[in-house]
Amino acid sequence: MTELGRDAREAAPRRRGLGMGLSALLGSTADAVPGAGGEERPRTVPVEFLRPCPLQPRRQFAAAELEALADSIRHRGVIQPLLVRRTPSGNFYEIVAGERRWRAAQIAGVHDLPVIVHELSDRDALEVALLENVQRQDLSPLEEAEGYRHLIDDYRHTQEELASALGKSRSHIANLLRLLGLPAAVRALLEQGALSAGHARALLGARDPLALAQAVVSRGLNVRQTEALVRADAERAPRRQAAADAKDPNVVALEQDLSRTLGLTVCLTPKGAGGTLQIAYGSLEQLDALINRLR
């Protein structure tokens, strides 16, 4: 049974600032969460009345993890209620914390879920979603970095405030934010799990992060080996620059144009009336995509 029509019986809760912790909002299934002039208690809502929140920093949900959680829900049910807020229309609820439970419940065939409703602003919703995921280590490095960037750029939080609220070091947050400066193709490898956050941090100072990332993936290098590769590449850079300076500018421009088009590192080496064309790929998937394009 839904309770979408009981607005008059609910009081708006106080705003909780960043760092108050999830317990201040979620409480437990037994304890009420105090609001201004009333109490918020868990209620039951059909899954079809719940929607993912567009501010949710987490974008990927591993199928194996969802299956494991669904199996737990089949045996024990959903123990912790989801934290939700009403959509502007008032007809649905947006999930601020608990989207993974909502997805797993549907796999488990559960039709109704316990929720706690709070009237949260976009800022509050983002803060709580980020807190929940970071505390539970559910985010990928890039998802976590995007959440931090959003809070800093759009809501004027400082790195120091985030570090204090989340129990992280300022350097941890700063290093994650730096990952957002990597080329899109390198960030894709990180998102896919082909590179770890340690690999990505090592590539930050590289002259050509994409070329080295492809080498790391194809050769299966660990983080320490990646750091050594970046150092060796930096030592070779003056020699490469001298060779590049001697190369025809038209050839260099063509290399850069082909690299941008293919998303791969391209090298042209003229020899007499001909020459060689080298295209570096970092995985079999990239090779397959290149072959398909050439066909």
Domain edges within the chain = 7-139, 184-294
Please give the backbone phi and psi of residue 274, each rounded to the nearest 5 degrees, phi first: -120, -140
Is residue 99 annotated as a catalytic residue, yes or no? yes
Residue closest to 196 by CA, chosen among 173, 170, 227: 227
Catalytic residue among 94, 99, 132, 146: 99
Asked if 125 contacts 93 with a C-beta cutoff of 8 angstroms, the reply is no
- What is the CATH code for 7-139? 3.90.1530.10
Could you tell me the pTM of the whole model? 0.58
Asked if 42 contacts 29 with a C-beta cutoff of 8 angstroms, the reply is yes
- Digit-by-digit pLDDT tens for the chain (295 residues) are 444 434 333 333 333 445 444 444 444 333 333 333 334 678 899 999 999 888 887 777 888 888 998 999 999 999 889 999 998 887 899 999 889 899 999 999 999 999 999 888 888 888 788 777 776 667 888 988 988 888 888 778 888 888 887 788 999 999 999 999 999 999 999 988 899 999 999 999 888 899 999 999 999 999 999 999 999 888 876 655 555 556 677 777 888 888 877 778 888 887 777 888 888 877 777 787 788 888 7
Q: Angle, nearest 10°, between helix axes 99-108 and 63-76? A: 70
